[in-house]
Structure 1
Amino acid sequence: MVPTLKTLRRLFESQERISTEEALEIIHKALDVMDTEPNVLEIAAPVVVYGDLHGQFFDLMKMLDKIEYFEENQENSNRKLLFLGDYVDRGAFSCEVILFLLCMKIHRPNNVYLLRGNHECEAISSFYGFRLECKAKYGVSVYFHFIKCFQSLPLAAVLDAPEGRIFCVHGGLSPEIETISDIQSLDRRREPSTSGPLCDLLWSDPIPEYESEITPNSSLDQDDEDLEPGTLTNYSVAHSFKESFREVSQLSKTKLMKKRPSIVPETAKWSPNEVRGCSYYYGCLAVYAFLNRNDLLCMLRAHELQDEGFLFHFSSEAYLSLDTRKDTTFPPVITLFSAPHYCDEYNNLGAMMFVPDEPHGFDVEQIHPVRHPRPRKHAQSEGMWTMFESTLPYISPSTKFFEEMAELNNVDLTTKPKKLPSFQASKVGLELEEDIIIPGYTLTSTLTRSRKYLPLLVGAAKLKRRRSSERHPHAANPEWDAITSQWKQAKTKSDDIIVSSDQSKVNLAVIFTTKELEMLKLMFTLIDVDGDFVLQSDEIARFIERILMLHITEEKAIQYTKALDCNKDGQVDLADLIECAAKMKRKYYQQQESRLRWKEWQNFGCFFVTVILLYCMRTKRPWCRKKLLWLPLTCLIYWYIQRRNRKDYSG
């Protein structure tokens, strides 16, 4: 029997697990419900829309409490909830998030709608952590049932709002898709490839819009500072709007950044998405054409981390002459991100959007992160370190690995480190004491706000756009292969890897198997949260806390980061991690070889002691027997002490 939502919430908030049978029942019943739904859903307002969640269960509960979802009232019976995908990976409670959403779908199938994100597939979720978490909590077989359920998720939705129809999708558009009917005809019940329309719907992004910052020392005309919202130029946000925004949102302590909107827009319809390593960037012209062709007002999507929880695309004055839509009072593309303080790493806000059934525009509510407990040990470490130890036995599943690397790389862990910029992760975002609904963020076509004024609805609060550099694993593999090849060539030239006295020089193929290299890549990916191919001190601290269940100080995290920097270039990349593993494996082999030599002497000693004992038993001289008995006893004591010392040394 499927548990109630309140029962499931109580269990998950106390970090208790449901039985495997209950988990499978939830998965199968939700699959049966969603399997009957079309590729593109038709949903009538009112609707609350959520972006990426990424395993942040406690933030999901907070957002549901905001709309009083668990209360029995008329408003909840009419309101629909739409989730845009990416429910798993990265966060520590991915199983809880997806099981709770599926249970919501079972209990309220006509009020809860789930779309597929790029993480709802085997290639991505097995790489970014969900498979390991699921294996630790429910077993690997349950993971494959999840994959089958993911394939039943719809791909897109069209919201029927008073202002017009809104197209909702996780990623974006595809050059192979011109109409909604094209999406309906796709076969969604399969694993997405790295190209094609199914991949594009899940992976594509709008072309980045770059803005130039106006520093505090930059000169601005006094006339620009005093302009009214209706008569703004391209140079700055109106002073009056900034002040009213601060009063409404209570952000008086936040220093807002002024921006110049991009003057020359990017007019390319499609360009390769080099950041993701697959799919495309779509430009404003591609968006206008798709919206006009399908009689749509705008597009709402997720897929990208945003500092404020959302972002308007192609909405500056520079795009006004290119916009061919009938109603240009709304931004053509809106990104929504609902995972505040993403991965416990960034200081971003989350956001959810309200689409009412009355012509009053759309409201965006920003969400501050909620404190959550540390995940229990079974949630991550048991499954992950069992797999690591089986493939990489020379890497200790504790902070001893970092301490040994500090010793090998001559890093002093006793001195207090200086806070070097290269070892710090940038944390950009807004510090809010409470969640806010900002009237300045309300989009409406019935008021006097013009298309020219639209970018200023976020201009006062928007910081520099942060893009997630998360890549498709298949696209990242060539880069990692290039790194390992360079490391192999460097090691072959230096002849620096020693395995045994009989074979002092070996190449990478002998040192690392393919499985070992894949495991090292996986370990690097789990630590590298922001996907920039460089490990920062706060990423290492987070990895230790989540995987080893240990909390370390910021100073210790910096020291551990320096300990992994084998080439002393100020940053830790995959080559450094491979070099660390090579040193640990060399040390491991040397210890193994030493153990073998000691075992040979041990066997010889045992044989010698046995001979002495037999002689003592046969001799008829008591004084000789007594003196000879001391010899094997001394050998046994010496052997015991040496064994204890070697055991303590090897850990």
Structure 2
Amino acid sequence: MAAEDAVAMKNKGNEAFKAKDWPAAIDFYTKAIELNDKEASFYTNRAQANIKMEAYGYAIADATHAIELNPDFAKAYYRRAVGNTAILKHGDAIHDWKVVVRKNPADKVAKAQYDACQKMVKRDAFLKAIEISDAPSAAEGLDLENIIVEDAYDGVRLKDEITQEFVDDMISRFKNGKKLHRKYVFQIILAVKDIIYKEPTMVETHVKSGQKITVCGDTHGQYFDLLEIFRLNGFPSESQHYLFNGDFVDRGSWSTEVVLLLYAYKWLYPSSFFLNRGNHETDDMNRMYGFEGECKAKYNERVFKLFSESFSALPLATLIGDKYFVLHGGLFSDDETSLDDIRKLNRHGQRQPGQSGLMMEMLWTDPQTEPGRGPSKRGVGLQFGPDVTKRFCEKNGLEAIIRSHEVRMEGYEVEHDGKCITVFSAPKYCDSTENKGAYINIESDYKLDFHKFDAVPHPDIKPMAYANNGMMTLGFGYHSMALGVLEGRA
């Protein structure tokens, strides 16, 4: 009877998966496993739903369990390979791709992924070999004054300072599929890099009477949804402040448009438009998830290198009214970490976050429901419980932390007894998740006012259109895989 009930739960999980409700699918697959923990396909189905939720560490663990139950189950190796590829562990992934190809020699998709993974392993080794700790800036030798903007360029001209007229024209150009002149792209990046470099690692701001600050989560190259936030909530102004909490780029195929518009507003309103760094404002993620390829396709490699330098200059957190600590990922492995530690952190001495340390934790960690700390569901960083959040808030005199970094089906979620708030601003994420987007308004009374919004139509360009070899289209439902997405039988 338990076996039949388990299959029924699995079938409900498949229905939820097809409806793109990944959390519900995971819950049903978990119930199926609780009823029958010897069926490998239950684990591979849950692994696929975890991949959709970017819980790659959980997906790898599920796939490994499935392999232990059935060492001949090709789909389990496939899932584990996707999970390790997603967290850039190409050396681990390549072994599983090799197994999949051996077990399914006619699977052209798996063969292509195996070949791509081999190239990535070689590329990673090459980049490590040529890495220079004190490399010259990509701005060296860039003679902006002598870059000619041709008479045929039909946009507003940018002089020494940015104007509202120029920003309005940018918005229109991008909506119509046009690009900025590369001279203006260089100007914007360099101007903003200079502004943000001078900002502290934790920016501190207050909301005065008659003002409002809006906190937005991940936007991930979803340009038309970014414009919807501004349409609904008001465009940036002297009284309408904004904080974008990282992950401006990657996955969505208008990442250059998103980050250039955000940078333009930062230049226009340097003291009231704020940007925190996310885990996708990093080189290794940009190489995998599309931003590097998009920069090269729409502009050139130098544009990407300048963006990379500017990303490493971004602040890591913002403190709003001494009440809300806003950062992309979450809290820390050490209870002794304080706001003063963040203030003292020299982010300029470490361009990339690495695999450990304060910067990595600020960009990568996630909340969990259980007390204490646990291993990361992503396979990178860690997870922190409600007791960790409570101690941090009490120690630092905070009402709550606000973070992003994770899809929430309603666009936001209040957790940890109200002290941990997640906000995510990319609705219908990657065109494959039926989630809403959200943003949070904070006025001078410092109450949190949550707003949800739906995705808007966009031109027919798929997510990850510029990703490395199309590799990370795996597991996101952008094409049907030869091995199938879910196991319908048990």
Q: Which residue of 2 aligns with 1:334?
A: 421
Letter in 2 for 1:53: T
Which residue of 521, 526, 534 maps to 2:473? Answer: 526
TM-score under structure 1 length normalisation: 0.47
Query: What CA distance in whole angstroms lies between the structure 2 residues aligned with 1:33 and 1:571?
Result: 52
Q: Is the 2:403–2:422 Cα contact (8 Å) retained in structure 1? A: yes
Q: Which residue of 2 aligns with 1:363?
A: 449
Q: Is the 1:129–1:526 Cα contact (8 Å) retained in structure 2? A: no
Query: What CA distance in whole angstroms lies between the structure 2 residues aligned with 1:148 and 1:171?
Result: 21
Deviations 1:323-359 (A, max 9, x none): xxxxxxxx11000000011011111100000111136
Q: Which residue of 2 aligns with 1:249?
A: none
Which residue of 117, 126, 131 maps to 2:292? Answer: 131
Query: What CA distance in whole angstroms lies between the structure 2 residues aligned with 1:570 and 1:288?
Result: 40
1:206 and 2:292 aligned: no
Q: Is the 1:136–1:380 Cα contact (8 Å) retained in structure 2? A: no
Q: Which residue of 2 aligns with 1:305?
A: 407
TM-score under structure 2 length normalisation: 0.62
Residues 1:206 and 1:570: Cα distance change in structure 2 (over 3 Å): closer
Letter in 1 for 2:379: G
Query: What CA distance in whole angstroms lies between the structure 1 residues aligned with 2:264 and 2:454?
Result: 25
Query: What CA distance in whole angstroms lies between the structure 1 residues aligned with 2:400 and 2:344?
Result: 22
Q: Which residue of 2 aligns with 1:37?
A: 199
Q: Which residue of 2 aligns with 1:271?
A: 374
Q: How many pairs are equivalent?
A: 319
Deviations 1:165-219 (A, max 9, x none): 1111100111246211111222323111011111000000001x3xxxxxxxxxx
Residues 1:37 and 1:372: Cα distance change in structure 2 (over 3 Å): same
Residues 1:165 and 1:133: Cα distance change in structure 2 (over 3 Å): same
Task: Give, in angstroms, the shift of residue 569 of structure 1.
Answer: 9.6
1:280 and 2:385 aligned: no
Q: Secondary structure at the match of 2:323?
A: strand
Q: Is the 1:291–1:297 Cα contact (8 Å) retained in structure 2? A: yes
Query: What CA distance in whole angstroms lies between the structure 1 residues aligned with 2:431 and 2:339?
Result: 37
Task: Give, in angstroms, the shift of residue 375 of structure 1.
Answer: 3.5
Q: Secondary structure at the match of 2:352?
A: coil
Query: What CA distance in whole angstroms lies between the structure 2 residues aligned with 1:155 and 1:113?
Result: 11
Deviations 1:437-460 (A, max 9, x none): xxxxxxxxxxxxxxxxxxxxxxxx
Task: Give, in angstroms, the shift of residue 527 of structure 1.
Answer: 3.5
Residues 1:347 and 1:198: Cα distance change in structure 2 (over 3 Å): same
Query: What CA distance in whole angstroms lies between the structure 2 residues aligned with 1:569 and 1:109?
Result: 46
Unaligned stretches of 5+ residues in structure 1: 71-75, 210-265, 316-330, 385-518, 530-535, 541-559, 573-651
Q: How does 1:476-487 map to 2 (within 5 A)?
A: none
Residues 1:354 and 1:380: Cα distance change in structure 2 (over 3 Å): closer
> CA-atom RMSD, angstroms?
2.2
Letter in 1 for 2:364: W
Q: Is the 1:156–1:168 Cα contact (8 Å) retained in structure 2? A: yes
Task: Give, in angstroms, the shift of residue 267 of structure 1.
Answer: 2.2
Query: What CA distance in whole angstroms lies between the structure 2 residues aligned with 1:127 and 1:94?
Result: 14
Query: What CA distance in whole angstroms lies between the structure 2 residues aligned with 1:373 and 1:279?
Result: 36
Identity of aligned residues (%): 31
Q: Which residue of 2 aligns with 1:158?
A: 319
Q: Secondary structure at the match of 1:126?
A: helix
Letter in 2 for 1:20: R
Which residue of 367, 389, 393 maps to 1:291? Answer: 393
Q: How does 1:487-566 map to 2 (within 5 A)?
A: 523-529=470-476, 536=477, 539-540=478-479, 561=481, 564-565=482-483
Query: What CA distance in whole angstroms lies between the structure 2 residues aligned with 1:570 and 1:167?
Result: 40
Letter in 2 for 1:373: P
Q: Secondary structure at the match of 1:151?
A: helix
Deviations 1:35-77 (A, max 9, x none): 110011111123110000000001111111112216xxxxx42
Query: What CA distance in whole angstroms lies between the structure 1 residues aligned with 2:218 and 2:279?
Result: 10
Q: Secondary structure at the match of 1:154?
A: coil
Q: Secondary structure at the match of 1:276?
A: coil
| Larger Rg, first or second structure (1 or 2) | 1
Task: Give, in angstroms, the shift of residue 368 of structure 1.
Answer: 0.8
Residues 1:18 and 1:282: Cα distance change in structure 2 (over 3 Å): same
Q: How does 1:98-497 map to 2 (within 5 A)?
A: 98-160=259-321, 165-176=323-334, 178-189=337-348, 190-207=351-368, 209=369, 266-268=370-372, 270-273=373-376, 275-315=377-417, 331-358=418-445, 361-375=447-461
Q: Which has the higher contact order (CA 8 A, sep 6+)?
A: 2
Task: Give, in angstroms, the shift of residue 285 of structure 1.
Answer: 1.5
1:5 and 2:167 aligned: yes
Unaligned stretches of 5+ residues in structure 2: 1-157
Task: Give, in angstroms, the shift of residue 373 of structure 1.
Answer: 1.3
Letter in 2 for 1:183: I
Query: What CA distance in whole angstroms lies between the structure 1 residues aligned with 2:270 and 2:430?
Result: 30
Which residue of 207, 221, 229 maps to 1:55? Answer: 221
Q: Which residue of 2 aligns with 1:446?
A: none
Q: Secondary structure at the match of 1:35?
A: helix
Query: What CA distance in whole angstroms lies between the structure 2 residues aligned with 1:174 and 1:380?
Result: 31
